[in-house]
Structure 1
Amino acid sequence: MTTAPVLTLPDAKEPFVVYSDASKMGFGGVLMQS
């Protein structure tokens, strides 16, 4: 990674996408917004 990630609350007025994945070992997800 060349830049540090910035964590902020999502803006409900803007669209966002939820990505998720799961396996026998666990699961995870991320909420992404421009």
Structure 2
Amino acid sequence: MKEVFRIIDHYKYDQSSFLFSLINSKLDDLK
């Protein structure tokens, strides 16, 4: 069960970093 939580946490982290990079690229486009 702990493994599942670890995978979910990892997925959430990946998602947020993906969102973060996406926002960063959008900001770069605005400059």
Q: TM-score, normalization: structure 2?
A: 0.20
More strand by share: 1
More helix by share: 2
Higher relative contact order (CA 8 A, sep 6+): 1
